[in-house]
Amino acid sequence: MIRRTARKIASPFRARQRAKAKARGIRPEVALPFDMFEQALSEAEGKTARKLENIYHKGQAKAWDGKQTLQTLLDRHGGIDLTPAQQEGLRGLFAVILWGELAAWKVSADLALQLEPLEAKMAATSQAHDEARHFYVMNDYLSQIGEVPKELGPRTTRVLVGTLKASTLTKKLVGMQMMIEPMALALFQLVREARIEPVLCDLLELYERDEARHVALGVLHLPRMIHGMTPAEAADLWAWEFQEFWNQVGMLKELQPHFEALGIDVRDVVRIGRAKQVRANQLLMEEMGSSLPVLEAFVRFFDAKTEWHWPEAPRADLWERARGVIRAANRGMGQVQAPLSNVAA
């Protein structure tokens, strides 16, 4: 009797939760959503749907053969020539990319399974295909310069697992497309510009093209998932995002020796990664037609935290360092121009 009563009480709640999830384009419990074409779209929604669908078709048109491409690059550049220190630096740094690509593959496959609108499902499916290629090609590349890394540091692991095990699909989309992907793009850009190793640099041009396109899924579909959130749900999302930003700072500190071995300044990684993250969020706000109230506070806080860990003047005394932190906190977000060339899809 108690069980039946509890079931009756829970049923309306579950029905409301299912209705809310459906409105946001999430319906994992339906094996075949035969009604997926029944929802009428406004002109703006139809435009967004076409952009999402175009991500899939663009991904098909720009897909590249990973095995063939890597071999062609090895032949063109006469193999890989690195000092032992560079080998160790690249292996340490690109272990994050290797296992990050697997995490992105899992998240995008989850999105492809659970997102209901056809166009968003197509975009996520295209990303899953790209991430699978990125994972096996990076594995093949790293095997050329030594043993493939089988683990990550605890702080770096925490960043990837935080998104993989996030409690909602919205958090997974925010974590992967709006936080991790832009930081990966910053790393790709800096390694290419440093011309550390020509085979890798040519590969990263292809990775960048694909990853920038992936950010578009978050920019275009997140407004629907965020719309209608209760204050409690929004607070939970922002608290989780704050924790993930905090973990990213810890990850960069953990990876700092690898950056230094390759002659890359961590401040540049933070600066470019921040710009790309902010730009992705600005594009998201443009799609939503409204602001994200906590974003400015996040940017100011983490700019100040970054300045404390990696001061502009490394030998500054405590007072000069504190003044740098205050300046960073007062700088604000501004209108950042960062290249995310394929986000518009």
Query: Closest Cα to residue 100, out of 222, 216, 251, 320?
Result: 251
| Distance (Å, whole) CA 247 – CA 100 | 15
Instruction: Provide the b/e sequence for 287-323 (b: ≥16 CB within 10 Å).
Output: beeeebebbeebbbbbbbbbbeebbeeeeeeeeebee
Res 292: pLDDT? 76
344 in a structural domain: no
23 in a structural domain: no
Residues 95/272/174/289 CA torsion (nearest 10 deg): -160
Which residues fall within 8 angstroms of residue 61, CB to CB, at 6 or more apart? none
132 in a structural domain: yes
| Distance (Å, whole) CA 131 – CA 128 | 5
Secondary structure of 198-246 in HEC code, one letter for each residue: HHHHHHHHHHHHHHHHHHHHHHHHHHHHHCCCCHHHHHHHHHHHHHHHH
19 in a structural domain: no
Which residues fall within 8 angstroms of residue 31, CB to CB, at 6 or more apart? none
Percentage of the chain modeled with pLDDT above 70: 86
4 in a structural domain: no
DSSP SS3 for 26: strand
117 in a structural domain: yes
Residue 187 has pLDDT above 50, yes or no: yes
pLDDT tens across 208-249, in order? 999 888 888 888 888 888 887 888 998 999 999 999 999 999
> What are residue 26's DSSP bridge partners?
115
Which residue do the tokens 């209705």 mark? 19
| Distance (Å, whole) CA 213 – CA 25 | 20
Total tally of structural domains belonging to the chain: 1
Vertex 255, ends 136 and 71: CA angle to 5°?
25
Max CA separation in the chain (angstroms): 75
> For the chain, how many residues are written?
345
pLDDT tens across 10-61, in order? 454 455 555 566 556 666 656 777 777 777 778 888 898 899 999 999 999 9
For the chain, how far is it from start to end, CA to CA, in angstroms? 55
What is the domain extent for residue 290?
A: 51-331
139 in a structural domain: yes
Which residue do the tokens 């994200």 mark? 292
The answer to whether 202 and 73 are in contact (CB under 8 A) is: yes
30 in a structural domain: no
**Beta-carbon neighbour count of residue 44 at 10 Å?**
11
pLDDT band for position 336 (cuts 50, 70, 90): very low
pLDDT tens across 254-284, in order? 999 999 999 999 989 988 988 888 888 888 8
pTM of the model: 0.84
250: CATH: 1.10.620.20
